[in-house]
Amino acid sequence: MKNINVLLGTKYPIIQGGMANIATAKLAAAVSNAGGLGLIGAGGNDALWVKNEIDRIRTLTDKPFGVNIMLMSPHAPEIAQLLIDENVKVVTTGAGNPVPYMSAWKAAGMIVVPVIPTVRLAMRVEQAGADAVIAEGMEAGGHIGKLTTMAMIPQIADAVNIPVIAAGGIADKRGVLAAFALGAKGIQVGTVLLATKECPIHENYKKLIVESTDTSTVITGSNKAPVRVIKNEMAVKYNSLIESSASFETLEQLTFGSLKKAVIDGDIESGSFMAGQIAGVVKEIHTVKEVIETMFKDINNYKDTLNIL
Ligand code: TUI
């Protein structure tokens, strides 16, 4: 099985999550320059926005980077093609089934790493040519599946012959070691990177992460599109509206622009601050390089016991 660092061209087997409206060229370049794989998160943006970020990251790093496509976005098809035209080496996908795009990406020689929430989808994308999978547990922030990282990783690792990258609930070296112990060959992190100097979010967002405790996040939304966020006025109101079967329009009105309200305005009451449960262990703001190096410090000491790297 291919080593993740060899597959991705990285120093450390760590991928940055493709956080919508947060994972810009600036954050992704910082991660790539620190030895991980930085991702430009397309989120709900269009292909022109993604093209500009690709142009920008190429001025900020000569290290490998990737693009994450959020498959629920109406712009997903045009962005899928853009990555081929722009000769982007690595694509990750989330929030949907990437199989319809995969033969074109593989024909273009790209490395394809889908985020998957179940064994079934992991097997499907492996068959379609995926180079690795990111198994993301429901501890993660943002849009989530139903399984936990702890239960999912060994089951996915048993079911596929490609490397499994663990995501959801990892913010320090303990999480890295746990992920390897469960059978993962790499990790993906999001929440811990929110609390970095380079992360282009409002200071209030960083403060919320650093001040989080174990019970600070809550799942909002229906069964169809559950999203984990920091529990605030907005999250409580949203869930009580769902409970009282509010109309789609009412819910839309409440959530409209709420992600940008969090990321750009730092609006504590009405923003939607996506974050994982592991926010509770994130206590300080560091540079991206400090975060990554601390996570992997002396990791080779565990090489024999964990069959890693
Ligand atoms: O995608 C994410 N996290 C995200 S996307 C996002 S933008 C958004 N904002 C509000 C509402 C909805 C989305 C914020 N956070 N993580 C990766 C992930 N992918 N988690 C779960 C999945 C997933 C779910 C279903 C992947 C595939 C899938 O397939 C279903 C199918 O069609 O088989």
Q: What is the pLDDT of residue 225?
A: 84
Is 97 touching ligand 1 by the criterion CB < 6 Å? yes
Residue 308 has pLDDT above 70, yes or no: no
3-class secondary-structure state, position 257: coil
CB 166 within 8 A of CB 153: yes
User: What is the pLDDT, as a whole number, of residue 309?
Assistant: 55
CB of 20 closer than 6 angstroms to any ligand 1 atom: yes
pLDDT above 80: residue 256? no
Flag whether pLDDT at 145 surpasses 80: yes
> Which whole number is the average pLDDT over 155-180?
98
**Which residue's CA is the nearest one to ligand 1's atom 9?**
143
Mean predicted confidence (pLDDT) in 202-228: 94
Sheet strand arrangement including 164-167 = 14-16, 186-189, 164-167, 133-136, 111-116, 90-94, 65-70, 38-41
Say what the pLDDT of residue 305 is: 80
Report whether residue 145 contacts ligand 1, using a CB cutoff of 6 Å: yes
Q: Atom 5, ligand 1: which residue's CA is nearest?
A: 143
The pair of structure tokens assigned to 22 is: 């947060």
At position 199, the amino acid (one-letter code) is C
Ligand 1 probe mutation, 143, 193, 224, most atoms within 8 A of CB: 143
The answer to whether the CB of 227 is under 6 A from ligand 1 is yes
What is the pLDDT at residue 149? 98
Alpha-helix runs per DSSP H in 172-257: 173-181, 191-194, 203-210, 233-243, 248-255
Q: Which of 16, 115, 152 has most ligand 1 atoms within 8 Å of its beta carbon, as the pocket-test mutant?
A: 115
Mean pLDDT of the chain: 96
Cβ(94) – ligand 1 distance below 6 Å: yes
* Mean pLDDT of the 189-199 span: 98
Q: Is the CB of 226 under 6 A from ligand 1?
A: no
pLDDT confidence of residue 304: 81
Question: What does the pLDDT look like over 117-135, one tens digit per residue?
Answer: 999 999 999 999 999 999 9
The arithmetic mean of pLDDT across residues 182-206, rounded, is 98
Give me the DSSP letters along 219-240. EES-SSS-EEEE--HHHHHHHH
- Which structure tokens are listed for 60? 């900020």
